[in-house]
């Protein structure tokens, strides 16, 4: 890693830390200071849960084949936060939410998510750990796991389906079963094929990093809102970084190369400053 790359990496991490700390403090004092951009799926979600509660039907959430300890760990944890926010709202009804997983490593995560949801309502002793279900997934595009989810949708008379994690094209089977029974569905996947199916078949879908913002949109923690603001800041910095070579090239064109030399001198100056020299 060259000196310029190291310098830019340090600057990015420093800016992310500073923005997160500052925004967290401001949000704690005045939550309306920063308005989050609208995401249709999060706006639709409370209504889906409310309809399921009113009809006395359970809300079904599923991680698909995502698990812990592998490449899908971050996806599992992000969707677990989403499912916690869902379950926290669903537990006020009489029908317990159902949490299905296809990877055995995700079963303790499912049980803990349900425990946290009931604990948030002061009903931890009523947490139905048996509602966390493992179905053999086999990894990848598992038709067996999709068939088990289809049976759950039918047999448990589910009111709403929130599917996030690792799904492939087999997600279409679950979506079709839900559509036949007029069940609402919100879906996302870390697989391109699954995301395409989610976009087509679900009432609303989450795309890309949107699933990582569930706590900020559905929760009440100031730090999570600050995290979303930090993501936006880093996104704009990334866009600026992509455009920077073009800006330098145009500057060199109009200044006979002196603009690029000035930029490099500025970078060298800040590098020496950070090194204490």
39-83 pLDDT, tens digit per residue, is 888 899 999 999 999 999 999 999 988 888 888 898 999 899 999
**How far is residue 169's CA from residue 181's CA, in Å, rounded to a whole number?**
20
- Cβ distance 101 to 134 under 8 Å? yes
The pLDDT, as a whole number, for residue 152 is 92
The pLDDT, as a whole number, for residue 93 is 86
For tokens 């709403």, the residue is 160
* Listed ranges 30-39, 140-149, 237-246, 254-263; the one with the highest mean pLDDT: 140-149
**How far is residue 5's CA from residue 267's CA, in Å, rounded to a whole number?**
11
| Fold designation for 40-205 | Rossmann fold (3.40.50)
CA atoms within a 13 Å half-sphere pointing along the CA-CB vector of 191:
20
Q: In the 8-state DSSP scheme, what is residue 130?
A: G
- CA angle (109, 212, 209) in 5-degree steps: 130
**Global pTM?**
0.76
Is the pLDDT at 143 greater than 90? The verdict is no
**How far is residue 237's CA from residue 230's CA, in Å, rounded to a whole number?**
10
Give Cβ neighbours of residue 164 (< 8 Å, ≥ 6 apart). Answer: 61, 62, 63, 64, 79, 82, 83, 187, 188, 189, 206, 211
Dump pLDDT digits (tens) for 3-50.
656 666 677 677 777 766 776 666 666 655 667 778 888 899 999 999
Give Cβ neighbours of residue 26 (< 8 Å, ≥ 6 apart). Answer: 33, 34
Residue 164 tokens read as: 């996030």
The pLDDT, as a whole number, for residue 112 is 93
**How far is residue 228's CA from residue 214's CA, in Å, rounded to a whole number?**
10
**How far is residue 43's CA from residue 180's CA, in Å, rounded to a whole number?**
24
Strand partners, 187: 163, 205
Is the pLDDT at 220 greater than 80? The verdict is no
Mean pLDDT of the chain: 81
Is the pLDDT at 272 greater than 70? The verdict is no
CA-to-CA separations, 51 to 45, 46, 113, 268, in angstroms, rounded: 10, 9, 22, 60
Dump pLDDT digits (tens) for 80-111.
999 999 999 999 988 999 999 988 899 999 99
The pLDDT, as a whole number, for residue 219 is 78
Strand partners, 163: 62, 187
Give the domain ranges of the chain: 3-34+229-274, 40-205
Query: What does the buried/exposed string (b/e) look like for 127-160 if buried means 16 or more CB atoms within 10 Å of the residue's CB?
Result: bbeebbbbbebeeebbeebbebbbebbeeeebbb
Which among 136, 193, 46 has a CA at the least distance from the CA of 175? 193
């Amino acid at each position: 890693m060259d000196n310029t790359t190291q310098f830019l990496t340090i600057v990015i991490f420093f800016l992310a830390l500073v923005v997160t700390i500052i925004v967290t403090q401001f949000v704690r004092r005045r939550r309306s200071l920063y308005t989050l951009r609208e995401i249709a799926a999060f706006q639709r979600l409370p209504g889906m849960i409310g309809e399921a509660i009113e009809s006395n039907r359970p809300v079904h959430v599923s991680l698909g084949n995502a698990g812990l300890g592998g490449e899908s760990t971050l996806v599992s944890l992000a969707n677990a936060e989403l499912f916690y926010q869902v379950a926290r709202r669903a537990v006020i009804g009489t029908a317990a939410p159902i949490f299905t997983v296809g990877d055995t490593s995700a079963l303790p995560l499912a049980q803990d998510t349900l425990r946290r949801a009931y604990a948030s309502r002061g009903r931890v002793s009523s947490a139905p750990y048996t509602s966390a279900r493992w179905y053999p997934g086999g990894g990848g595009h598992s038709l067996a796991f999709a068939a088990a989810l289809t049976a759950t949708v039918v047999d448990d008379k589910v009111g709403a389906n929130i599917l996030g994690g690792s799904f492939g094209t087999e997600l279409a089977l679950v979506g079709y079963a839900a559509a036949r029974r007029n069940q609402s569905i919100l879906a996302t996947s870390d697989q391109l094929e699954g995301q395409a199916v989610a976009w087509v078949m679900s009432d609303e879908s989450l795309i890309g990093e949107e699933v990582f913002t569930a706590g900020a949109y559905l929760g009440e923690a100031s730090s999570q809102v600050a995290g979303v603001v930090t993501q936006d800041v880093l996104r704009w910095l990334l866009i600026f970084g992509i455009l920077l070579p073009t800006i330098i090239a145009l500057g060199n064109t109009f200044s006979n190369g002196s603009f690029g030399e000035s930029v490099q001198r500025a970078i060298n100056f800040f590098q020496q400053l950070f090194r204490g020299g």
